[in-house]
Amino acid sequence: AQRVTQPEKLLSVFKGAPVELKCNYSYSGSPELFWYVQYSRQRLQLLLRHISRESIKGFTADLNKGETSFHLKKPFAQEEDSAMYYCALKVGSARQLTFGSGTQLTVLP
Amino acid sequence: DVKVTQSSRYLVKRTGEKVFLECVQDMDHENMFWYRQDPGLGLRLIYFSYDVKMKEKGDIPEGYSVSREKKERFSLILESASTNQTSMYLCASSLVNPDTQYFGPGTRLTVL
């Protein structure tokens, strides 16, 4: 069965420092990967998807099929980036996503 | 703007009670989902529905059932609540493609 692993429950960085939130997946086929974000007192929402190859709020994520990873990166973290981040996987024509356990990012002033 | 609403933000129930959590979406989405959100365990899918009266089990369906009588409404039912069902419950909806799911504000259920 497919699985998403986010090894860091908590991650703290200082403002202006680079940040990388790790995501690894297990699936033998061609996956679709996503990052969802939940800011304090807000709803969970889609941040970005690998297929779009876009940068959202300065964040990018590259799918590395060799390493089965989809790490989320930002070169200069801002305090407003503090949030819970979830990596999610869709396999084939599935009608649901598989989410990881989440990483709570805190950007310190 | 897609709106997903959940019937309660906070709920306190006693062990053994029957609990109904309701979710309504206003965008004519085909798919609706119920998740549990627990610290350290992340988001786990309980049940989802891709059409009226259709449902499929997610990863942790035990102790739960669902009902979807109308397209816009998806109910989660705890037949006999137990303390280990104390959690944050999130409802979501999406079009046929589940990539972009729209989440409700969540219901924090405490079972005493």
For each of the domains in chain A, give its residue range(s) and CATH number, in order of start. Answer: 3-108 (2.60.40.10)
Phi, psi values for residue A50, rounded to 5°: -65, -30
* Rounded-to-integer distance, Cα B42 and Cα A36, Å: 12
A32 touches chain B (CB under 8 A): yes
- Give pLDDT tens digits for A14-69: 999 999 999 999 988 888 999 999 999 999 999 999 888 788 899 999 899 899 99
Average the pLDDT over B83-99 and give the result: 93
Instruction: Tell me the pLDDT tens digit for each residue of B4-21.
Output: 999 999 999 999 999 999
Using the beta-carbon criterion (under 8 Å), do A49 and B90 form an inter-chain contact? no
Handedness of CA B104, B58, B39, A17 (dihedral sign): negative
Q: What is the pLDDT of residue B99?
A: 86
CB within 8 Å of chain B, chain A residues 1-30:
6, 9
Report the pLDDT value the prediction gives residue B97, as an integer from 0 to 100. Answer: 85
> Strands B10-13 and B107-111: what pairing?
parallel
Bigger pLDDT: B26 vs A29? B26
Cross-chain residue pair B42–A86, CB shorter than 8 Å: yes
Encoding tokens for residue B30?
């085909």
- Is the model's pLDDT at B1 over the cut of 80? no
Every domain of chain B and the residues it spans: 4-111
Shortest Cα distance from B89 to chain A (angstroms)?
A: 12
Residue numbers in B near A54 (CB within 8 A): none
Q: Each residue of A56-74: pLDDT tens digit?
A: 899 999 899 899 999 999 9
> What is the Cα–Cα distance from B46 to B104, expressed in whole angstroms?
15
Q: Which residue of A has its CA nearest to B6?
A: A43
A96 contacts B98? CB cut-off 8 A: yes
- The CATH number given to B4-111 is 2.60.40.10
Average pLDDT over residues B81-88: 97
